[in-house]
Structure 1
Amino acid sequence: MTRIITTLKDIAANYDALFVDLWGCVHDGVRALPDAVAALQAYRAGGGIVVLVTNSPRARAGVEKQLDSFGVPRDAWDTIATSGDSARAAMFQGAVGEKVWFVGQPVDERFFDPLHLIENPAPITCVPLEDAEGIICVGPFDPLRDPAEMRPQFLYAKQKGLKLLCANPDIVVDRGEVREWCAGALARLYTEMGGESLYFGKPHPPIYDLARRRLLSLGRDVENARILAIGDGVHTDVAGATGEDIDSLFISGGLAASETKTSHQPDETALRHYLDKEKSEPTYAIGFLR
């Protein structure tokens, strides 16, 4: 049974490390959430390690710059694991071929910047769909348009047997008050149409492997029982934590704010109904990280 808590301090002593989602938990896509920042600063001051685990398709350095622009101070976290880094490693290892059709916005083209951690990286070239060996999906061409508009291209790609590498398994995200589609919505559509999608962010294992490597790089080998995953996605953050056998804290005031009737805290009945409907059982729940 999910336990509703009041603040992170209620349970902080039970954990040596946090795997913390970003969007909807630490910032809203526009600015930092002050209470969440203060909670993470206090947790670190008490000796805990904060690993930001995000389905951002960006490299770690790009996420750091984004956090700076949102006003998230550097003393609120220790290190970052991104689905972008995990997916880029797979791409440069040739997971979907060397000639790829790129789906994303111009700002996302840095996904193809060299990744020096890979020895003998595959020479990746962006080509038209007709010439592609695979698909790299960083996000929609337009995050406000219905993903179904990609059906004609995806039908052609499926018939060619192309694999789709999804750099961000999130379906939607809220940028301030605006809900946008993410790469996960396109990958889901492609899979539903009979295509093969490869995922590297939450809830899939590669990003958690990367997060643990980030912990080890800090000299901390933390057992699963002492790690807490925090996030607002039951199908990403909570499902991923369950798959990794680590506890989870569900932020109900993020993507599911309306379903859980969250203002300051979730309505207990609405939360239970939502979790039952989604077949999810996080260890804890709270309205907002604080």
Structure 2
Amino acid sequence: MTRIITELSEISAPYDALFVDLWGCVHDGVRALPAAVAALQTYRKGGGKVILVTNSPRPRAGVAKQLVHFGVPDDAFDAIATSGDSARAAMYRGVVGQKVWHLGPVTDSRFFDPLEILDNPVEIERVALDDAEGIVCTGPFDASADPESWRADLEAGLARNLKLLCANPDIVVDRGETREWCAGAVAKMYSDMGGESLYFGKPHPPIYDLARRRLAKLGPAIADDRILAIGDGIHTDVEGAVGEGIDSLFISGGLAAAETKTSHQPDAAALASYLEAEEMMPTFTIGHLR
């Protein structure tokens, strides 16, 4: 059974590092969440390390710029690991070929910036779908559109047996009060149609490998049992933590706020019912990070 806590400091002492989700935990897609920022600042002042582990398809430099815009101060974290960086590394190793079709908004064009950390990276060329060797999905063209609007393009890719690289495994996010589709929803549809989707963000291992590398650069090695993963995605943050053997703190007031009847804190019975239905059991649960 998950333990419901009232604040991070209640359980943070045994942990030397936090892997913290961003959207729904530290910001709401529009602005920083002050209580969450304060909790992370306090944790770092006590000597803890904070790695922001996000399924954003953006490179970490783009996420850092976005955090400034949202009002998240740089003393609330030590480093950033993004699904975008993990997926970009795979793309430049050629996992979906050299000629790729980009399924995503033009605002994600930085995904295709050169990646200098790899030896002999593949030269990537963006082409039309009919000429592509693979698909790179950073999200729907329109995050609010009916998912059926993606089907025709996916059917064309499936007919040519193209692999789809998913830069963000999230299905949905809440931008303020508005729910939007993410690349994970596109990739799931493609897989359900019989296509092959490749994932590099939470809950899949590549992003945790990247997060550990970011953490290793900050000082002495930290064992997995001294790391706490925090997030509001039951099948991204919590499932990923379980798969990595890392303790987790579930933020019930994010994506699952309605199901867990969370305002300030979750309703215990609703939370238990939700976790049973999802077949996931976080180590700890709190309404909102604070």
1:77 to partner: Cα distance:
0.2
Give the C-alpha shift of residue 220 in structure 1. Answer: 3.2
Shift of 1:110: 0.7
The answer to whether the 8 Å contact 2:138/2:183 transfers is: yes
The residue aligned with 1:72 is 72
Rounded to whole Å, the distance in 2 between the matches of 1:160 and 1:62 is: 33
Q: Matches of 2:158 and 2:221 in 1, distance apart?
A: 42
Per-residue CA deviation, residues 199-236 of structure 1 (Å, 9 max, x unaligned), is 00000000000000001111231101100000000000
Pairwise CA distance, 1:14 = 1.1
Instruction: Note if contact 2:259-2:271 (Cα within 8 Å) is conserved in structure 1.
Output: yes
Identify the residue that residue 50 of structure 2 maps to in structure 1: 50
Judge conservation of contact 2:140–2:150 (CA < 8 Å) in 1.
no
SS at match of 1:52: strand
How do 1:67-106 residues align onto structure 2 when only pairs under 5 Å count? 67-106=67-106
TM-score w.r.t. length of structure 2:
0.99
Bigger mean CA deviation after superposition, 141-150 or 11-20: 141-150
CA shift digits 1:134-191 (9 cap, x unpaired): 0000010000012222112211211211000000000000000000000000000000
**Partner Cα distance (2:72, 2:154) in 1:** 38
**What letter matches 1:162 in structure 2?**
L
Which amino acid is 1:114 matched to? P
Matched residue SS, 2:216: helix
CA contact (8 A) 2:135 2:165 kept: yes
Pair 1:237 & 2:268 matched: no
For 2:183, the equivalent position in structure 1 comes to 183
Q: TM-score, normalised by structure 1?
A: 0.99
Q: Is the 8 A contact 1:154 1:190 kept in 2?
A: yes
Measured in 1, the distance between the counterparts of 2:188 and 2:201 equals 14
- The answer for the alignment partner of 2:192 in structure 1 is 192
In structure 1, runs of 5+ residues without a counterpart are none
Any stretches of 5+ residues in structure 2 without a counterpart?
Answer: none
Separation in structure 1 between the aligned mates of residue 284 and residue 190 of structure 2, nearest angstrom: 33
Q: 2:9 & 2:34 partners in 1: Cα distance?
A: 16
Match of 2:143 in 1: 143
- Corresponding residue for residue 253 of structure 2: 253
Q: Secondary structure at the match of 1:219?
A: coil
Between the aligned partners of 2:272 and 2:97, the Cα distance in structure 1 is 44
Matches within 5 A, 1:268-287: 268-287=268-287
Residue of structure 1 in register with 2:209 after alignment: 209
Structure 1 residue identity aligned to 2:197: S
**Equivalent pair of 2:249/2:282 in contact (CA under 8 Å):** yes
Distance 1:223 1:161 in 2: 41
Identity among equivalent positions (%) equals 70
Give runs of ≥4 in structure 1 deviating > 4 Å.
none
Shift of 1:258: 0.6
Q: Deviations over 1:94-141 (max 9, x none)?
A: 010000010111110110000100111111111111100000000100
Corresponding letter in the other structure for 2:266 = P
SS of alignment partner, residue 154 of structure 2: helix
Query: Which residue identity does 1:169 align to in structure 2?
Result: P
Q: Distance in 1 between matches of 2:223 and 2:147?
A: 40
CA distance in 2, matches of 1:261, 1:154: 36
Deviation, structure 1 residue 268:
0.2
Tell me how far apart the structure 1 counterparts of residues 150 and 63 of structure 2 sit (CA, whole Å).
Answer: 28
Tell me if 1:60 matches 2:80.
no
CA distance in 2, matches of 1:221, 1:86: 21
Count of aligned residue pairs for this structure pair: 290
Counterpart position of 1:6: 6
**C-alpha RMSD of matched pairs (Å):** 0.6
Q: What one-letter code is carried by the residue in structure 1 that aligns with 2:138?
A: V
- More moved, 212-221 vs 29-38: 212-221
SS at match of 2:13: helix
- Equivalent residues of 1:148, 1:189 under 8 A apart: no
Partner of 1:108: 108
The aligned amino acid for 1:182 is C
